[in-house]
Structure 1
C-alpha cells in the first residue's frame, strides 16, 4: 500500500495503522513526545524557508499532502 501525491506520483508506503478515536491517538502521540504537524499556510511556508536559510529546526513543520485511495491523512505527527 502506497500513498500518492495529488498529481498521482507515488509517495510514502503505509507501514502503520492506528485504531482509536482522534482524541486517543493525539493523546498517545503526545505522551510519546510527538507533536502534530502544522497546517500548510503562507506563514508556515515562510517558516520552512527561514528554517532552511538559517539552519534552524522547525519541529512542527507541515508534512507533504499525500493521499491514500484519494483521501488525505487525518493526522500528521513529527
Structure 2
C-alpha cells in the first residue's frame, strides 16, 4: 500500500514507516531487522507496511515482493 495507511486504525491512528522507506534510509533491506519495521497495535496485532513507489513511478509489485521476502527471511 503506497499510502501506508492499512494499519492506521489498528495502531490507533499512528503512522507507520514502510519496509521500503526504512530500507532506503538504511541502505538496503538487508540492513533492517524485523523490530525496525513491526509495530504492535490493538490486541497485540503485529503490523507492517510494505510501501511502494509513488504512483506512476516504478512497479508496486516489486515492492510487495521485496517486503514479503524480507518478512519470510526474518521468520514473520
Give the TM bin, normalised by the shorter chain. under 0.3
Higher-strand-fraction structure: 1
Higher-helix-fraction structure: 2
TM-score by length of 2: 0.23
State which structure, 1 or 2, has the greater radius of gyration over its C-alpha atoms: 1
